[in-house]
Amino acid sequence: MLNVLVLGDIISRVGRNSLKSKLSGLKKRLNVDICTANVENSAGMFGISEKVIDEISKSGVDVMTSGNHVWDKRAGIELLDLREDILRPANYPPGNPGHGYLITESRGVRIAVINLQGRTFMPTIDCPFRSADTILSEIPKDVRVRIVDFHAEATSEKVAMGYYLDGRVSVVAGTHTHVATADERILSGGTAFITDVGMVGASDSIIGVKKEQVIKRFLYALPVRFEVAYGNPRIEGLFVEIDDETGRASKVERIREETGDFVADER
């Protein structure tokens, strides 16, 4: 049996500090074998940087996935070709930096981690469903544990991906909206699914941003500079037990770990 922890979007320093203070204990309590997290918002809400990625890795994240914001910092884009443990969505057109999946190992078990991005209300890129088919045809058949981060806006597209990959992957975990959904389950083919795992950031916020700024934008329909919120931070994610012989999930549990208030700058 392999224990997998999939974490939501890490929001700036507040999210990184949450990982630093609590992830080690959480992994020990759940006996986690591999931990993934989405890092596209980890450096000041937009993009990634070498310092930030090193910090997240040292906190205990084994594989870092991403989404549309991974392209927001030039230095971060360069990291995509330099580090094997950072993924960008596989269905960006060929020729882009980086890679969309990797095969790693834990306790002698080979594990595939796949990063895909939706197209509904998102940038127009290649089809994530057909990209998934291509990747699965490339992954050796003996790699039975397969984890998918599907970074998408529309709940319908995420649910469709879950059913499309049911029985062919171990986990389909949605990211991007920063709001954890309550639909975690194991589909009929043995795939663990959740529409969105949530975020690693301040729960006293609107998707990680100071509440008053977002409300002001809705009230007046004018541009507002968003700043990171840092009240009542928490770690949100999905814990899955997987039979490493079959790749089928046997247990799924939504994770919400309060990490305690602290003062942080907003970078």
Total structural domains in the chain? 1
Token reading at 48 = 């990634």
Residue 73 lies in a domain: yes
What is the domain extent for residue 186? 2-258
Confidence (pTM) = 0.95
CATH number, position 26: 3.60.21.10
pLDDT score of 266 more than 80: no
Is 151 labeled as catalytic in the residue annotation? no
Residue 263 lies in a domain: no
Residue 265 lies in a domain: no
Rounded CA-CA distance 144/140 in Å is 8
Residue 37 lies in a domain: yes
Q: Which of 69, 151, 176, 178 is catalytic?
A: 69
pLDDT in tens, 3-37: 999 999 999 999 999 999 999 999 999 999 999 99
Residue 199 lies in a domain: yes
Residue 266 lies in a domain: no
pLDDT in tens, 109-146: 999 999 999 999 999 999 999 999 999 999 999 999 99
Give which of 105, 71, 66 is closest to 86, Cα–Cα: 66
Residue 264 lies in a domain: no
Residue 119 lies in a domain: yes
Burial 90-99 (b: 16+ CB within 10 A, else e): bbbeeebebe
